Structure 1
Amino acid sequence: MHRIFSVLYKEFLQMRRDRMTLALVFMLPMVQLLLFGFAIQTEVKHIPTVVFDQSLSYESRELLDSFSASGYFDMTYVVNSYADVNRMIDSGKAKVGIIFPPDFATSVNRGVPAPVQVLVDASDNMVANQAIAIANAIGLIKSQEVVAQKFHLSAPPYDVRVRPWYNPDGITAYYMVPAILGIVVTMTMVIMTSMGIVRERERGTLEQLMVTPIKSHELMIGKILPYIVLGYIQITIALLVGVIVFHVPIKGSLLELYLLTLFFITASLGLGILISNIAKTQMQAMQMAYFVFLPSILLSGFMFPRDAMPRLIYYISNVIPLTYYLDIIRGIVLKGIGFSYLAGQVLFLLVFSLVFLTLSTLKFKKKIA
């Protein structure tokens, strides 16, 4: 046990001397949460819109008011020809174009379908999907209002009541901030630990450890424990920023979140140490760490829903520890669920931790031999 504490003490001294490490620990979660929390928004509002109204009637203005009142469309430009609409969209000044035909009001008053053309710049897929969905919804709502007036109905013929759970207002920060926390921990644990043993080998301090009577598993424990402490410091800072700045509600148990986070931290650390045992230089370790880091962002469900991925990619994402931690942290923070619902995810992280740490220990033991 005293040998483990000896390694621990040396590792903490090394971290204390390494100011970059301390800066990463304290500043990385805060900076990334503030940057990505404000920057990443799945709901796109205030889309610049160009209008070509050939009707110039009360009916066309009423529909335009509905588009404006939604908050998703800003009537930035009013033009007098199709060519102007095309020019605005081609130049990127407008993302949406709304065109009313000359007989729009006549068609509405006669009770026949009145066409309204909505042009959407689909070069930005997220903006296009949002604009198309909102435009269709506005058209449906206004159609129901006209039908109700024509047939003197006191209410729409259908009463569909949608009740979104867990995030009823659709606030992106509630969904993204917990996921960013997982990204920060992945980045720090994998990249920092992957550089650890390689750095010591290059500096010659690893050979000093090899001649001591310390065992390989004791060395691994001594290397891992300081980073576990740093991981929890980062999580605490990130949660404080999420609650204070973005008002993210934590509906579940914080104690349970901290306990289950341990499995994710150890899995990430085991992967980082395994990389550091394989790599021969710090540059190789950095490249291998980013090779793990980028799939963690793209395939774990952080940015894109896994259910929409091709089956092969979906199965590949099952070998990424962050995939399971996102279910854990979003489940506890947003849904308030407990361990009974998350046992499968915890089991997978436990398996990852055991596999990575065992391989790391065996690989390091072979290097000593």
Structure 2
Amino acid sequence: MNRFFSLGRLRALLVKESIQMRRDRVTFAMMLGVPLMQLMLFGFAINTDPKELPAVLVAPTQDRFTRAMVSALELTGYYRFTEMGASAAQAEAMIARGDVSFVVTVPSDFGRRVERGDGASILIEADATDPSVASGAISTLSTVASSALEREAGFTAPAAPVQIIVHRRYNPEGITQYNIVPGLLGVILQLTMVMMTAMALTRETERGTMENLLSMPATPLEIMLGKVMPYLAVGGVQVVVVLIAAKLVFNVPFVGSLPLVLAGIFVFVLALVILGYLISTLSRTQMQAMQLTFFFFLPSLLISGFMFPYRGMPLWAQWLGEIFPLTHFLRLIRAVMLKGADFETVVRSFAALGLFTLLLTVLALLRFRRTLD
């Protein structure tokens, strides 16, 4: 027998590892699922130049010149008017909630001014909390007015008497950090809270200490709360660090209510630690817990609106993004910090996070009971 190399020994090791891989279904699924998920998301869902962005029209008098301007904006491919003829208050509420990316306001005397050549103008308000979303749509405005009125009334391009005034709302300077840093709070909390909770609880199962805990006269709910509540305190420390750094280091404006922000963070962190608890009931080892955490973390990072514009993704990817708590937390934190939104404006985000927390709690308790059998 060869002391240094043996095909028989090698074959035996390969058979052993193949059997072990087949038994470790979580790892095997990750090996196939992660590359497929990355291919689908990067290939189809990621778009850095979003088009068909929702817009609302505020126009008391919709004459032929107004209609020509609306048609010209839609022909650029960047604007999609979801509401025609809304009031100024309705439009303000829609852009504050993030339902639309643009508010196009056309004055009631727009048509008369165009016919007289009397310096007509329209106002386009852009939600610039994410500068990359509005930049492409704004860059096309230089030729919109001239081309629209040239077709409608025969004006030549140099003499087009219309001025398009662009107002970048919430982030006039287009500073990327104003959009990224509040989102980083959600990303950091998601990665650390889910992973820390899942791996800590799985470690107890590996070491056998969980059996001692299960022998105690405690209900599944009491055990779950006892396990996840300490990590809420850890999340609180991270929140304080990130918020202070956002203000002092990056000068991110904070124009909203601090109690509202803290309430949203609390619900978000609670959902995350319960998710980590649920992952721990599905994992047999710490490696599996880490793999499941990244399997959840990666798609939520890509399609939540943190790395790439949410509006730039296809509709199916936007629907998929709705199932991740990070998507709703990003809307909430950016709306309150950058837009000064009140509770009524972000109530849908609170409701979504609360629903996630409830569903994850039910699933974790059901899974916990099954592990006792």
The TM-score with structure 2 as length reference comes to: 0.58
CA distance in 1, matches of 2:310, 2:241: 28
TM-superposition CA deviations, 1:270-298 (whole Å, max 9, x none): 21111110011111110010000011110
CA distance in 2, matches of 1:174, 1:201: 42
How far has the Cα of 1:312 moved from its partner? Answer: 1.4
State the AA in 2 paired with 1:359: L
Q: Which runs of 4+ in 1 moved over 6 A?
A: 129-134, 136-140
Unaligned runs of 5+ in 1: 1-41, 43-125, 141-152
CA distance in 2, matches of 1:159, 1:307: 27
Match of 2:314 in 1: 310
Match of 2:357 in 1: 353
Matched, 1:188 2:192: yes
How far has the Cα of 1:132 moved from its partner? Answer: 12
State the AA in 2 paired with 1:169: E
Match of 1:264 in 2: 268
Q: Show the 5 A alignment for 1:1-369.
A: 157-369=161-373
Residue 336 of structure 2 aligns to a residue in which SS?
helix
Match of 1:58 in 2: none
- Higher-Rg member (1/2): 1
CA distance in 2, matches of 1:266, 1:275: 14
Change (3 A) 1:168 1:291: same
Deviates more, 1:191-200 or 1:282-291: 191-200
Residue 278 of structure 2 aligns to a residue in which SS?
helix
CA distance in 1, matches of 2:142, 2:369: 66
Change (3 A) 1:131 1:212: closer
Unaligned runs of 5+ in 2: 1-47, 49-130, 145-157
Aligned positions, number: 232
Tell me, yes or no, if the aligned pair for 2:257 and 2:336 is still in contact at 8 Å: yes
Tell me, yes or no, if the aligned pair for 2:141 and 2:164 is still in contact at 8 Å: no
How far has the Cα of 1:131 moved from its partner? Answer: 11
Root-mean-square deviation (CA, aligned residues, Å) is 2.9
The percent identity for this pair of structures is 39
How far has the Cα of 1:259 moved from its partner? Answer: 1.0
CA distance in 2, matches of 1:357, 1:180: 25
CA distance in 2, matches of 1:311, 1:165: 25
Change (3 A) 1:274 1:345: same
Match of 1:105 in 2: none
How far has the Cα of 1:224 moved from its partner? Answer: 1.2
CA distance in 1, matches of 2:289, 2:254: 36
CA distance in 1, matches of 2:251, 2:301: 24
How far has the Cα of 1:196 moved from its partner? Answer: 2.1
